[in-house]
Structure 1
Amino acid sequence: METTGPRQSMAWKLSTLRIDMIIVYILCAMLLLAALWLLTMRTKRKKEDFFGLAKFHYAHRGLHGNGIPENSLAAFSLAVNHGFGAELDVHLTKDHRLVVIHDKTLKRTTGAEGMVEDATLKELKSLNLEGTQEKIPLLQEVLPLFEGKAPLIIEIKAVKGNHAELTRRVCELLVNYPKLKFCIESFDPRVLRWLKKHRPNIIRGQLSCDFVRRKNGLPLVLAVLLTNLSLNFWTVPHFIAYRFEDRSKLALRICRKIWGVQEFSWTIKSKADAKTALADGAPIIFEHIQEDLCTIN
């Protein structure tokens, strides 16, 4: 009986020590995972030539509305005339031409059936935008409107695995406009990866939002990775264009505070939201508030 007490005391101490060590291991593992998570969100610091782009407000698909279709030559001309930059979307046609249109299908903007990638340029040019006489423009028809006047945010709309060809063709075309200020963005990380490898001097941006909450059909794992900017280590973007309503996401805040990345906010639809984004240093991509922006400046 006399030896039982010390043995029990020793066993208790060893048990406590094991528990303490397990806790230490768990904490170390958590710290390591946190450090790895931070590294996955690594971005580029702001490029010197980025600041010229950040001075502008960007009309989402041009200044459209009141009978002027989105992503039309009329909408882009109006944006330039009002001193705005513009954001536009680029698809690749069946015959490998670069056209400016947002949706991968034609129904909403033209009333026609089918996908952009399954149509030839001739077929697309036979369609009218939103019941007007405006046509789906080629990217090469839009670029001269902005060269030397206002910058462009060019969104690459990769479909059916055409990200490499589409991005390459856009870059090859842009070489012909040396006075054009622009950057390229995409929701598809493969586009940014291609730019990083083949055109590292082009300013590239990752488009994102809360894909998990919005449930847009992505596999859950991919939705989580994109929402939390966890593929940044692979693409190393110069800026993040994040949906304004989702801008409180921890991953975006970390990218800004720790990695110093430039944020863009989309799509701004009120004067109050414009003020909030601009006060936080985020250039805006806006719709239908051009009159309000004059009073903010």
Structure 2
Amino acid sequence: MTFMNLFIIAAAAAGIAAVIWGIWLFSMIPSLRKRPEMKELRKFDYAHRGLHDRANGIPENSLAAFARAADMGYGMELDLHRTLDGKLVVMHDDSLKRTCGADVMVHEKTLEELKEYRLEETRERIPTFGEVLALVNGRTPLVIELKTVKGDYRELCAAVCRELEGYQGCYCIESFDPRVLWWLRRNRPDMVRGQLTEHFRRHGTMVNPIGDFLMHNLFVNVLSRPDFIAYQHLDRKSLSLRLCRKLYGVAEFNWTVRDRLTHKKIREDGGIVIFENYLPKFDSNKQEQKEKRAG
């Protein structure tokens, strides 16, 4: 093979690499709009599924957990599913098996049927989204994760938007499903939206390898153009996330943090923390006063 042939091959390879690199950098661009809500969201730490404490009878994603978080000045993260009759309930899993001991699917039961189940053998029952909104009433911000089942993202998004009409508190919406963010981008651009992601297969979630690659490398941002990225904190050194922060200044939530040292490091790096299993120290004097009153 002549030198000229080698040069042509090398030039072609470099050109292809440059095109792929350019596509990647373009695809990962987040929303570049400046959202005033992000300033408020950055002020808080967020209790994962509420400030739950199973040992003391406070289940995850319960009204008791959300009340405890709000009373102590924490924001909170919660998960929404649609019921069979189109209502919105707060539940992380698709099934009630882990939290209620019943092998039934949330989307296959009506709200009335779901209200029969108790959370983690306590007196707490599965809350509706409306009950949580009434309880929190704007005291602290909400990070609302939308859980899609069988492609119901349109119905889920529309139901959530209806429920939030008139709510005066600060909130944002996030989802692993980029179709949720795409819907919000088209229909409710006024709402702050965030793309949830991680290195799925690295953490044992057996998703399609191509889907995993596109998600954790933020190619899906081309659809969702998110206002923030919510990344698994163990993956926060990911090249895609570091590039998105460096080049585009994207806001970053990190989940789920379970120790104060990691929490402190993320905060120092400018990230927003979703935590559980401990009480982080508060930054502001106002929050410190709330902690003392609660303690």
TM-score, structure 1 normalization:
0.92
Quote the Cα distance in structure 2 between the aligned partners of 1:32 and 1:221: 19
Deviations 1:126-158 (A, max 9, x none): 111000010000000001222231110000000
Unaligned runs of 5+ in 1: 1-11
- Corresponding residue for 2:18? 31
**1:223 matches 2:212:** yes
The Cα shift of 1:18 comes to 2.8
Identity of aligned residues (%): 45
Deviations 1:20-64 (A, max 9, x none): 222122212211111111111110134222111111111101110
- Corresponding residue for 2:47? 59
Amino acid at match of 2:66: F
Quote the Cα distance in structure 2 between the aligned partners of 1:18 and 1:217: 43
Quote the Cα distance in structure 2 between the aligned partners of 1:25 and 1:295: 53
Quote the Cα distance in structure 1 between the aligned partners of 2:181 and 2:277: 29
Quote the Cα distance in structure 2 between the aligned partners of 1:119 and 1:241: 30
1:152 alignment partner, one of 122, 142, 147: 142
Matches within 5 A, 1:99-178: 99-177=89-167
Amino acid at match of 2:19: L
Quote the Cα distance in structure 2 between the aligned partners of 1:52 and 1:293: 18
The answer on whether the counterparts of 1:242 and 1:263 sit within 8 Å (CA) in structure 2 is yes
**Deviation above 3 Å: which 4+ runs of structure 1?**
294-297
The Cα shift of 1:295 comes to 7.8
- Corresponding residue for 1:84? 74
- Corresponding residue for 2:187? 198
Unaligned runs of 5+ in 2: 289-295
The answer on whether the counterparts of 1:147 and 1:181 sit within 8 Å (CA) in structure 2 is no
Quote the Cα distance in structure 1 between the aligned partners of 2:13 and 2:99: 54
The answer on whether the counterparts of 2:37 and 2:170 sit within 8 Å (CA) in structure 1 is no
**1:49 matches 2:40:** no
Q: Give SS of 1:241's match.
A: strand
Superposition RMSD in Å: 1.5
Using a 3 Å threshold, how does the CA distance of structure 1 residues 194 and 122 change in structure 2: closer, same or farther? same
Deviations 1:212-232 (A, max 9, x none): 312412111111111111110
Quote the Cα distance in structure 2 between the aligned partners of 1:83 and 1:48: 20
**1:281 matches 2:252:** no
Quote the Cα distance in structure 2 between the aligned partners of 1:223 and 1:49: 30
TM-score, structure 2 normalization:
0.92
The Cα shift of 1:182 comes to 0.3
**1:238 matches 2:227:** yes
The Cα shift of 1:234 comes to 1.1
Quote the Cα distance in structure 1 between the aligned partners of 2:85 and 2:253: 33
Quote the Cα distance in structure 2 between the aligned partners of 1:210 and 1:43: 19
1:252 alignment partner, one of 232, 237, 241: 241
**1:73 matches 2:63:** yes
Quote the Cα distance in structure 1 between the aligned partners of 2:85 and 2:175: 22
